[in-house]
Amino acid sequence: MEKITKALVNENIDEFRQLFLKLHPYDRAKFYVEQSPEVRKRMYYYLSPGEMAEIFDHLDIEEDEYKTYLSEMDPSFIAQMLAQMYADNAVDVLNELDKKEAASYLTMMGDEAAKEIKDLLHYKEYTAGSIMTTEYIAIHANQTVRSAMQILKKEALHAETIYYIYVINEHKQLVGVLSLRELIVSDDDQMIHDIMNDQVVSVLVDEDQEDVARKMKDYDFLALPVVDAANHLLGIITVDDIVDVISEEASDDYSKLAGVADVDIQRSPLDAAKKRLPWLIILLFLGMVTANLISRFEETLQKIAILAVFIPLIAGMSGNTGTQSLAVAVRRIAMGDFSKESKWKMIVREALTGVIIGATCGSVIMVVVYIWKHELFLGLLVGVALFATLTVATVAGALIPLIMYRLRIDPAVASGPFITTINDIISILIYFGLATMFMNYLL
C-alpha cells in the first residue's frame, strides 16, 4: 500500500497501475476511500471508467457518501463508470442522487446501459426488483449442451454469476434451471430440457427483500431468479446482495430496538437529535403516566415510606425481563417462524419462563428483605410483587410485537425503551396495588 501511495504522489502512472490493479477489488475499494480528495482526484486520471466501476461495485460505505465521491469526478466520467457497473449497484448509486442529476447521467450513457438501469429504477425500494440484476445467463430448453456452452462463453464475462444457468421458453418465461457443473459434465449433444431441473425456486419482483433473504438462506442458493406474475424471468438476486440485505435489516432492527429510527455515526448532533427525539418524547409522556400512578398511591407511601426503596428494583427487573422476551419474539418474527401454532407455543413458553424467573427472583428478594429489614410480611409483599411483575412483563414482551405484527407495524418498533416504560406502569400498579390491599399487615 505504501508503494502504491508513493507511486501516486510521485505521479508514476505505470508503477501505480501495475501495483494497484494486482490488488483484489475489495482492497482497491478500501484503498480508494482511505485517500484524501486530492489523491483520489489523481486516481481518476490514472484509471479508466471501467476500472473505477469495479471499485464502486465493491465499496462498503454509507449510502449518502456516494455524493461526496461523485462530486470529485467529471460528469462524463461518472456516466461511463455507472454504465460499466453491475446494473443493481449502479441503481443503488443513482437512488442517492437528485432525480435531475440521475437523469443527466442516464442521458450521457449508451442506450442499452441506460435502458437496463432505468428499468431497475422503477421498482419499489426494499423489494426483490430493487436489488436484482439483469446480468444473468439464460438459454432455451430446445437447444443442445454444445450451443448452450457457446452462449455461456460469449456472455460469461458480463454476467454477475455463471453458477446457475436459467432456462426460458419462447415467451421468456422461466421453465428450468441447471448448474454450471451439470452443464459441463453433460454430453454435448444432450438437449437442455433433458438435463434441466424444472422445479425452480423463484421470487416475485415485488416480494420484500427480507423474505427473499430468508428464502436464500433456507435453500442455500448462490442466486435466486426474479419473476413477474406471469413467470417471465426479469433478473436474478445474488448472494452478495443478500449479505448486504441481511446486514441492513439487522442494523435497522437493532436501531429500532434501541428506540432510534436510524443509526448513523456520520450524522451531525442536530440530525441525530431529530431522529431520536420523537421516541423520547413519547416515552417522556409515558413516564408521566408512571409518575401519576405513583402519586395516586401517595397516601400508601406516606404511611409506609419503606416501599419507595423497592420501586427501582421492581420497575428495573420488569423492564429487563420484558426486553429479553421482546428480543425472542422479534427474532422469531424475523426468521419467519410464525405459524398460528408457533405463536401460541412461544407465548406459553415465555409465560412459563416468566413464572420460573419470577418465582426464583421473588423467593430470593423475600429472603434478602427479611434478613435486611427483619420484616417477614414486607419481604413477602416485595417477593410476590416481583413474581407477578416478572411474569406479566415476560408475557407482555412477547405479546406486544405480535400485536404490532398483526397490525402490519414493524415489530422492531416495540423497542426496549418502549417495553421498559410499559412494564414500569404495570409493575407500579401491581406493587402498590398489593401494598394498598395489605396495608394493615405492613403498619
Q: Using pLDDT thresholds of 50, 70 and 90, give the confidence band for residue 367.
A: very high
138-253: CATH superfamily: CBS-domain (3.10.580.10)
Identify the architecture of domain 2-122 in CATH. Alpha Horseshoe (1.25)
Chain-centre distance for alpha carbon 330? 13
pLDDT reading at 193 higher than 60: yes
pLDDT recorded at residue 311: 86
pLDDT reading at 73 higher than 70: yes
Rounded to two decimals, the pTM is: 0.61
pLDDT reading at 96 higher than 60: yes
Phi, psi of 65 (to 5 degrees): -80, -15
pLDDT recorded at residue 87: 87
Instruction: Delimit the CATH 1.10.357.20 region(s) of the chain.
Output: 269-442
pLDDT reading at 57 higher than 70: yes
Strand-by-strand arrangement of the 138-140 sheet: 138-140, 164-168, 174-179
**Which is more confidently placed, 306 or 235?**
235
pLDDT reading at 267 higher than 70: no
pLDDT reading at 251 higher than 80: no
pLDDT recorded at residue 81: 95
For the chain, the distance separating the N- and C-terminal CA atoms, rounded to the nearest angstrom, is 77
Percent of the chain with pLDDT over 90: 42
pLDDT recorded at residue 337: 58
Chain-centre distance for alpha carbon 299? 49
- Distance between CA 139 and CA 331 in Å, rounded? 40
Contact 227, 204 (CB under 8 A): yes
DSSP state for residue 124 in the 8-state scheme = P
- Distance between CA 212 and CA 331 in Å, rounded? 17
Q: Using pLDDT thresholds of 50, 70 and 90, give the confidence band for residue 77.
A: very high
- Average per-residue pLDDT for the chain: 86
- Distance between CA 17 and CA 7 in Å, rounded? 9
pLDDT recorded at residue 399: 85
**402-428 tens-digit pLDDT:** 887 777 766 665 556 677 778 888 888
Give the three cell numbers for residue 131: 436489488
Least confident range from 321-335, 344-358, 359-373: namely 321-335
**291-329 tens-digit pLDDT:** 887 888 888 777 778 888 888 888 888 888 888 888 788
pLDDT reading at 229 higher than 90: yes
Instruction: Delimit the CATH 1.25.60.10 region(s) of the chain.
Output: 2-122
Contact 165, 147 (CB under 8 A): no
Give the three cell numbers for residue 432: 402498590
**Residue 190 CB: number of other CB atoms within 10 A?**
14
Average pLDDT over residues 370-388: 90
* CATH pick for 269-442 out of 3.90.340.10, 1.10.10.10, 1.50.10.10, 1.10.357.20: 1.10.357.20
**16-35 tens-digit pLDDT:** 999 999 999 999 999 999 99
Average pLDDT over residues 379-383: 91
**130-148 tens-digit pLDDT:** 899 988 999 999 999 999 9
Instruction: Delimit the CATH 3.10.580.10 region(s) of the chain.
Output: 138-253
Average pLDDT over residues 187-202: 94
11: left (phi over 0), alpha (psi -120 to 50) or beta: left
- Distance between CA 224 and CA 4 in Å, rounded? 39
pLDDT recorded at residue 334: 67
pLDDT reading at 75 higher than 90: yes
Contact 335, 246 (CB under 8 A): no
Q: Using pLDDT thresholds of 50, 70 and 90, give the confidence band for residue 122.
A: confident
- Distance between CA 427 and CA 319 in Å, rounded? 9
Give the three cell numbers for residue 251: 442494523
**Residue 403 CB: number of other CB atoms within 10 A?**
11
DSSP state for residue 173 in the 8-state scheme = B
pLDDT recorded at residue 84: 92
